[in-house]
């Protein structure tokens, strides 16, 4: 028998967690798209929440500082909670940007935001504890699985820009140990209004008061990785500024991955109560999830250069906003022409929320688009447009809403996209 057949017959028994872990839905979609590209198809791929470095390079000064740090041999282990200078600079950055005062000892540096989110889950939750999070949202279901927590999905509404309300959270609040929120939100690019977030903070404070001293608190994880990327008159609000009493209950997640187009540089930070941050540090020190020392040294040097940072963000944000509005205007024009599409006006991040309400329509060949999966496939195959359905973020399989990411979009593509899309939509009846 060939060796390959023997390998196929071998059975491997792994943990139940590993056996039942669901892979990334976006990565699965990406594999199909890459296969089409390899076969020579022209695909407008706006699926991944990343940046094309040829279109959106990291700041020149940061790039130079990283090279300099390696030339200066910053290649050994960094401090377990992050290089002291970087934690000091992040403390200043948080104060400058949000007016919040967190000491360097209340800040933890890691290899991007993901290890910090994982550390928050396993620090605050015991197996079987419940986590409330909105859908659509990014990866909270998977972090629940990894930590053994019980997920509580709260389906949000387009009329609220898919941001959860206190009223939607309230029925589940007494059984929860953690509320996981993100603003600006991945996948929608929408944000909390001050009133929405105030009502949620008051709900969390009310619940903790009800539990009383000695009971396990209800914590809030607040992912604000896109917080500097707000557009137009959109404002970013945070729970501790709104309600200072939330300080002892809130873990913030942030970093340079999105704000500096530096997803591969892997420098993120969390900040919150020092006793919790210390436990997260201990966990991540065993995992070895440090950001590389050279990148930490370089990030500290760059963030101190406030003029360079401000200049980069002004240009970077404008380029993102121009693309988001280009797509928004295009979908609005299609809607006004009678096509069953729409979009939510851009607010923040690198995402546009769009709706393709095409289920039940018939193609030129007479095939009925019987499911939202059929709609997605039609738009990909015929329109050559690759976007991510909200079902990949926990929403219903039949949700007609999608995430469009502009981080890999060249401006010249946008008219091409709508020229093709208009022809494809006109063939439906």
| pLDDT score at 8 | 57
User: How many other C-beta atoms lie within 10 A of the C-beta of residue 355?
Assistant: 18
| pLDDT score at 82 | 98
* Residue of 409, 403, 421, 408 lying closest to 352 (CA atoms): 403
Cα 66 from chain centroid (whole Å): 25
Along the 429 residues of the chain, how does pLDDT read in single tens digits? 455 555 555 789 999 999 998 877 777 777 788 888 888 889 999 999 999 999 999 999 999 999 999 999 999 999 999 999 999 999 999 999 999 999 999 999 999 999 999 999 999 999 999 999 999 999 999 999 999 999 999 999 999 999 999 999 999 999 999 999 999 999 999 999 999 999 999 999 999 999 999 999 999 999 999 999 999 999 999 999 999 999 999 999 999 999 999 999 999 999 999 999 999 999 999 999 999 999 999 999 999 999 999 999 999 999 999 999 999 999 999 999 999 999 999 999 999 999 999 999 999 999 999 999 999 999 999 999 999 999 999 999 999 999 999 999 999 999 999 999 999 999 999
| pLDDT score at 10 | 72
pTM confidence score: 0.94
Phi, psi of 255 (to 5 degrees): 160, -170
357's tokens: 């309400």
Cα gap 399→408, rounded to integer Å: 25
Determine if residue 384 is left, alpha or beta; phi over 0 gives left, psi from -120 to 50 gives alpha, anything else beta. left
First CA to last CA distance, the chain? 55
Structural domains for the chain: 3-56+311-426 (3.90.1150.10), 78-306 (3.40.640.10)
Cα gap 424→207, rounded to integer Å: 51
| pLDDT score at 37 | 85
Distances (CA, A) of 342 to 98, 99, 402, 408: 33, 37, 10, 22
Cα gap 254→93, rounded to integer Å: 11
Q: With 0-12 CB in 10 A as exposed, 13-18 as middle and 19+ as buried, what is 248? A: middle
| pLDDT score at 5 | 53
Beta bridge partners of 271: 107, 252
User: How big is the chain by its Cα radius of gyration, in Å?
Assistant: 23
Pairing of strands 351-356, 401-405: antiparallel
227's tokens: 């917080």
Kindly report whether the peptide bond that precedes residue 402 is cis, defined as omega within 30 degrees of 0: no
Cα gap 377→60, rounded to integer Å: 39
| Residue found under tokens 């998977």 | 142
């Amino acid at each position: 028998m060939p060796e390959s057949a023997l390998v196929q017959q071998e059975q491997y028994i792994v943990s139940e967690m590993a056996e039942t872990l669901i892979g990334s839905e976006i990565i699965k979609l990406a594999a199909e798209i890459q296969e089409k590209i390899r076969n020579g198809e022209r695909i407008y791929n706006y699926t991944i929440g990343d940046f094309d470095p040829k279109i959106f390079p990291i700041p020149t000064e940061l790039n130079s500082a990283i090279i300099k740090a390696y030339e200066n041999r910053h290649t050994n282990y960094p401090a377990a909670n992050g290089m002291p200078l970087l934690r000091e600079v992040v403390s200043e950055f948080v104060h400058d940007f949000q007016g919040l005062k967190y000491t360097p000892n209340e800040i933890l540096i890691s290899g991007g935001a993901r290890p910090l989110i994982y550390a928050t889950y396993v620090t605050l939750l015991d197996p079987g504890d419940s986590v409330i999070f909105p859908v659509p949202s990014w990866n909270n279901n998977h972090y629940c699985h990894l930590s053994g927590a019980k997920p509580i999905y709260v389906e949000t509404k387009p009329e609220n820009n898919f941001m959860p309300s206190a009223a939607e959270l309230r029925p589940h609040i007494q059984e929860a140990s953690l509320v996981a929120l993100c603003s600006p939100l991945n996948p929608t690019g929408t944000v909390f209004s001050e009133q929405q977030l105030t009502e949620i903070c008051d709900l969390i404070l009310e619940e903790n008061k009800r539990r009383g001293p000695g009971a396990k608190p209800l914590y809030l994880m607040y992912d604000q990785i896109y917080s500097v990327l707000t557009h137009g008159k959109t404002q970013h609000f945070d729970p501790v500024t709104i309600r200072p009493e939330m300080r002892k209950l809130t873990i913030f997640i942030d970093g340079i991955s999105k704000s500096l187009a530096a997803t591969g540089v892997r420098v993120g930070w969390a900040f919150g109560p020092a006793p919790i941050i210390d436990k997260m540090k201990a966990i991540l020190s065993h995992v070895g999830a440090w950001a590389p020392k050279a990148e930490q040294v370089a990030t500290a040097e760059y963030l101190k250069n406030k003029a360079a940072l401000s200049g980069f963000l002004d240009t970077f944000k404008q380029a993102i906003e121009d693309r988001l509005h280009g797509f928004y205007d295009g979908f609005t024009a299609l809607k006004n022409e009678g096509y069953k599409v729409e979009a939510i006006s851009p607010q923040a991040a690198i995402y546009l929320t769009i709706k393709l309400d095409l289920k039940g329509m018939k193609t030129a060949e007479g095939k009925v688009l019987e499911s939202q999966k059929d709609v997605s496939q039609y738009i990909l195959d015929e329109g050559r447009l690759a976007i991510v359905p909200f079902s990949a973020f926990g929403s219903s399989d039949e949700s007609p809403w999608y995430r469009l990411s502009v981080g890999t979009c060249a401006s010249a593509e946008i008219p091409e996209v709508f020229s093709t899309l208009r022809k494809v939509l006109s063939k439906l009846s």
